[in-house]
Amino acid sequence: MAKKFSMILAKTPSNGIGFKGQLPWSLKKELGYFQKMTKGVKDPSKQNAVVMGRLTWESMPDGFKPLKNRLNIVLSSKKLSLNGALHCFSLEDAHRSLNSEEYSNIETSWIIGGARVYEETVRKGLCDRIYMTHIEEDFECDTFVNLDLSKGFKEIVDPVVPQDVQEENGVKYVFKVYEKVE
């Protein structure tokens, strides 16, 4: 059976995830959580993959891409020339590639944005876990994600994920994990 994706994202109460191509908040510990989760492997002989849309790739500062110690995959329907990342034409293309023998060294494949990629992953049933940071205040956003988790997902406890309310720069947030119910 093919491995499914895990997703990781942070959102406001109004489902905002971005503003002018950037994160609308500056939360270093939350970003550290993202790095820990997307880099962390149980088997040291493996690595993880991060899958993102073209706009997410372009929003990252040049000195930070590709994301280190992870296979970076960028989705775009147009042919791209990427320095240090693999191009796939579609989410299904990336899913097939990551489930091929060529990428058997990949432990977890993470969807890291943007909104359309998150929504498509859930809609097409290609995701089995969602790691969502609920930021408890609204920020000005122009990019929103619409994920209805009430049908098909249940909240679970992952021992790796802190359970208590986090606070940074006066902003409170909570890490939650949702798992697909088969």
The residues annotated with a catalytic role in the active site are: 23, 30
> Domain segments of the chain: what residues?
5-180
136: confidence class by pLDDT, cuts 50, 70, 90: very high
Backbone phi, psi, residue 31, to 5°: -65, -35
**Span 2-50, pLDDT tens digits:** 799 999 999 999 999 999 999 999 999 999 999 999 999 999 999 999 9
CATH number of this structure's domain 5-180: 3.40.430.10
Q: Verify cis geometry, omega within 30 degrees of 0, for the bond prior to 66.
A: yes
DSSP H/E element including 166: strand 166-168
First vs last Cα of the chain: how many Å apart?
14
Q: Comparing C-alpha atoms, which of 155, 107, 108 is closest to residue 130?
A: 155
Q: Comparing C-alpha atoms, which of 23, 71, 80 is closest to residue 50?
A: 71
> Residue 151 above 90 pLDDT?
no
